[in-house]
Structures are given as C-alpha cells and as structure tokens.
Amino acid sequence: MELRQLRYFVAVARERNFTRAAETLNIAQPPLSRQVRQLEHEVGVPLIEPGSRPLRLTEAGRLLYDQAVQILERIEQMSEMARRLAATGRARVGIGFVASTLYGYLPEVIRRYKAARPAVEVTLHEMTSLEQIIALKDRRIDVGFGRIPHGDPQVTRVLMRKEPLLAAVSVSDPLADRQGPLVLRDLADRPLVVYPKAPRPSYADQVLALFRARDLRPPFVYEVKELQTALGLVAADAAVAVVPASVARLRRDNVLYLPLDEPDALSPIIMSTRHDDTSPEIALILKLIKRMYRDEKIPFGR
C-alpha cells in the first residue's frame, strides 16, 4: 500500500466522483481508477459500492477513509515540522497529551519550560495514551502525558499523581439536587457516555472497569471520540459521565461536576518518555513538574 494510493482514494471519496477527483489531483482518470482498484486488491475487500451514482463507499471503504485521512494529516504534520526545523535550526521538543490533562497543570508546565528554554521550539500534539506510546517510539514526540499504564520496555513511565474522578450530570438531572457526594450506584440507572471511542485501551476502559468492579451495568453506554462530545451529551441530559477532577475547570453550560465517594475512583497521570532518551530537556521538564507540585502542595507520585 502506497501513500499515493491513499491520497487518490481520499480524493475520490471526498469528490464522490472519479472525474472530479482526477481534476482535483491534476491527473488523468484511467491511472486514478487503476490505483484505486489496486488498493482494493491489496486490502482484499471492495471499498466502493459497484455502480453507485453518486459514488458511495462500502463499510470497509468508510473505515479505510477515516484512517487514511488521519495518516495523511499526520504525515503532513511531520513534513511541516521537518521543514520548520530545517528553516530555523532550532531545537525542538514534541509533547503529546490527552485532552483532559490540558485542563489541569500541563499548561503551567509548558509555560515554565518555555520560559526556561526560550530557544527551544515546543510542539503540542493531542493524542490518546496509546497513540503517545507509538509516537514516542517513532520519535514524533519526546514526552507524553497520558492516563493509561503500559508495560512497553522501550518507554519509561513516571507516575505523577492519581487524580480524583467526578460525576458529570445535567443541571436538570435529579442528582443535581442531591446533598453530599455520590457513589457510582447512583449513576447506574442512567445512560453512560465514555471517551475516547478508539484506540483502546483508553480512559474509557478505566471508567467501565469501575462499574464492572461493582457489578453495575448502565442501561446504555455511548462511546464517543472526544471529551467535548461527552460533555455535550451530558448537557443535553442524554447521559452521565465520569471525568477527571481537572475537567471541572472547563466551564460547560448545563453541566454540574459532583464529587464521588469512591476510594478507587482515581485516574493516574503518567509522564512517558523513550527508555534511551537522556536529553537534558526531559530532565528539565520533570524537574519543573516536581517543583510546581511542591509549590502547589500536590503529592508527587501518589
């Protein structure tokens, strides 16, 4: 499978027409059709419904399209970073993060690092914990902040802290009027929304494991891609969610964040780096984090 084939397939899927896609790509239609047929041959399943007008993708075609778009965007980002690095000659540190850490202390860590290293270019990449491990090994990022423990021998992890979890409910939910902390059983008769949908394992599995450990089964579980989507469903009173405490800093109309009286309702925040990375920049970031935790009186590592 070649990148050219993916680009051609994405263009056809977007235009829903081979002729228009060929014009967009500035190539003749026959080689475009050949490349798409070759891609189908390599994948082993049809990607386009035969005879459909306008063109429609099969289920496998839709799946491949979503993945191809992500791959091409990632390659473009890598190319742009390489061009910028070559143009400026500056050192660069790539930081991966899961969305929820952006509402905690990560922004302050980045501010302190940039103040200490103004000559270093910092690039930020939102990605799941699992994606961070892959990106570290591919050297697309240098440090990741996630929530999922892993045992990859090529990656070193440092537990920064375990963050308490909160229940996110609609302001119109009867639970909003409850006095005192909730327990997970209070949420069990409502639809539950978890995120991210993929890749797994992810923070979603941490939340689902908490319910399973108590033999609780919500009547329906929504799986969505992003935190913001999950909070949107909560605001619409379509579901409840369990989120890290730092998310409460993200003000969202019609959503209340309520404490949970569950000792194990905690989510770790983990800093991951390459096992063989002895860069002084990584050491500095960890030093700044420990100093900030000390200033904020946050126990490090627990």
Looking at per-residue pLDDT, the higher value among 302 and 155 belongs to 155
Total residue length of the chain: 302
Model pLDDT for residues 143-200, shown as the tens digit of each residue: 999 998 888 899 999 999 999 999 999 999 999 998 889 999 999 999 999 998 888 8
pLDDT for the residue numbered 13: 87
Q: Give buried/exposed letters for 15-53 (b at 16+ CB in 10 A, else e).
A: beebebbbeebeeeeeebeebbeebbeeeeeebbeeeee
pTM of the predicted model, to two decimals?
A: 0.67
CA distance 260 to 165: 7
Among candidate residues 120, 123, 117, 113, the one with its CA nearest the CA of residue 80: 123
| Domains in the chain: ranges and CATH | 3-80 (1.10.10.10), 89-160+268-295 (3.40.190.10), 164-266 (3.40.190.10)
Looking at per-residue pLDDT, the higher value among 223 and 52 belongs to 223
